[in-house]
Amino acid sequence: MNLHEFARRMPKVELHVHLEGSIRPATLLQLARRNSIGLPAQDVEGLRDFYRFRDFAHFVEVYVTITRCLRTPDDYRLIAYEFGADCARQNIRYAEITFTIATNTKYTGLPWQVILEGLNEGRALARAEFGLDWGWVFDISRDRPGTQDQVLDIALSARDEGVVALGLGGPEADFPPQLFERSFERARQAGLHRVPHAGEVAGPESVWAALRLLHADRLGHGVRCVEDPALVEHLRERQAPLEICPTSNVCLGVYPDYAAHPLRRLWDAGLLITVNSDDPPMFGTDLNHEYQVLVGHFGFDADELEQVSLNGLRASFLPQADKARLEAEFRAEFAQLREESNV
């Protein structure tokens, strides 16, 4: 067994993946047909081309198109179940999935409780069939700051239904963390975890603000911290987890290619790195592919691959008892994989 096969078979955790951005093109076509929604293409191949990232405006267009095709609780049940099936295929054992609840209530007209009930029915089906689980991160869309109190209130109300954190996504450069300080402070006071995107399109100042003003427990992306040595040292000392998505960063033009990406430098500097897929079909990736990138482009060996996986578990918001149980399972699987390989 070579390193690529080791990476494919190893147990994994994913912390930065958007549910809407994970919907398969074939499923989008199915949803559009049953809900009588027009699409820019009428076959799977055409939709794959539509999904392919061109620029941020097109990315938003794709996201809105996807969300408009979701209309019923059955639709939400389907996309959650299929997400679980895709996790099982990659041996992802736990995930924390971002979902933009306010956009979905806007386009469907459904109460958030109905949407979440559908999502959790799909989650339960996946748990029963595949033996995996996940938590929800309900995120505020930066270009709709007026929804932040609504999203936070929903997230707080749904903590017993799988919501583990408040997120913040969307156009980072135009909507700085300062606009959302109020809702993130409320989340902190209520004991809800906080995972804003920061340091992707905007630079180190966005990361500093996410830490100081939004009290971030984890940072979505965070890669541009590399531009500020003091920030890198601060993140190392604090062991603040970064949710790095290499292929997404390249597709979005944050870096021109993997060779220019700072993941290896940040890893070698001692930061707590996790690796994730972000919006898999939009960027032509999945978590298995991201681990192949670690091997092929960043030179990770088996020990480092194992540590990345355990970092994801460590940085998750699972209760400590569940983390300990999963870590024991992961370590046993890694030991078995090493027995079967020469890596």
In angstroms, the CA 249 to CA 252 distance is: 5
Rounded to 5 degrees, φ, ψ at 188 are -60, -45
Among 1, 59, 14, which residue's Cα sits nearest to residue 288? 14
Average confidence (pLDDT) over 153-161:
98
Residues present in the chain in total: 343
Q: What is the pLDDT of residues 7-27, one digit of tens each?
A: 999 999 999 999 999 999 999
pLDDT for position 52: 82
Average confidence (pLDDT) over 47-63:
82
Average confidence (pLDDT) over 319-337:
97
Residue type at 302 in one-letter notation: A
Number of domains in the chain: 1
pLDDT for position 340: 86
In this predicted structure, the answer to whether residue 342 has a pLDDT above a threshold of 80 is: no
In angstroms, the CA 274 to CA 276 distance is: 7
CATH of the domain at 41: 3.20.20.140
Tokens encoding 172: 């980072």
With 0-12 / 13-18 / 19 or more C-beta atoms within 10 angstroms meaning exposed / middle / buried, residue 111 is: exposed
In this predicted structure, the answer to whether residue 163 has a pLDDT above a threshold of 80 is: yes
Q: What is the dihedral of CA 270, 203, 102, 67, to 10 degrees?
A: -90
In angstroms, the CA 121 to CA 131 distance is: 15
Binned at pLDDT 50, 70 and 90, residue 267 comes out as very high
In this predicted structure, the answer to whether residue 1 has a pLDDT above a threshold of 70 is: no
In this predicted structure, the answer to whether residue 236 has a pLDDT above a threshold of 80 is: yes
3-state SS, one letter per residue, for the chain: CCHHHHHHHCCEEEEEEECHHHCCHHHHHHHHHHCCCCCCCCCHHHHHHHHCCCCHHHHHHHHHHHHHCCCCHHHHHHHHHHHHHHHHHCCEEEEEEEECHHHHHHHHCCCHHHHHHHHHHHHHHHHHHHCCEEEEEEEEECCCHHHHHHHHHHHHHCHHHCEEEEEEECCCCCCCHHHHHHHHHHHHHHCCEEEEEECCCCCHHHHHHHHHCCCCCCEEECHHHHHCHHHHHHHHHHCCCEEECHHHHHHCCCCCCHHHCCHHHHHHCCCCEEECCECHHHHCCCHHHHHHHHHHCCCCCHHHHHHHHHHHHHHCCCCHHHHHHHHHHHHHHHHHHHHHCCC
Query: Taking a C-beta distance cutoff of 8 angstroms, is the pair 139, 104 a contact?
Result: no
Instruction: State the number of CA atoms in the 13 A half-sphere of 209 facing the CB.
Output: 19
pLDDT for position 81: 98
In this predicted structure, the answer to whether residue 343 has a pLDDT above a threshold of 80 is: no
Tokens encoding 293: 């990138």
Please identify every residue annotated as catalytic: 200
Domain that holds residue 189: 3-340
Binned at pLDDT 50, 70 and 90, residue 271 comes out as very high
Residue type at 266 in one-letter notation: L
Binned at pLDDT 50, 70 and 90, residue 64 comes out as confident
Average confidence (pLDDT) over 185-208:
97
In angstroms, the CA 13 to CA 97 distance is: 11
Binned at pLDDT 50, 70 and 90, residue 144 comes out as very high
Residue type at 153 in one-letter notation: D
Q: Please, which residues bridge with residue 198 across strands?
A: 221
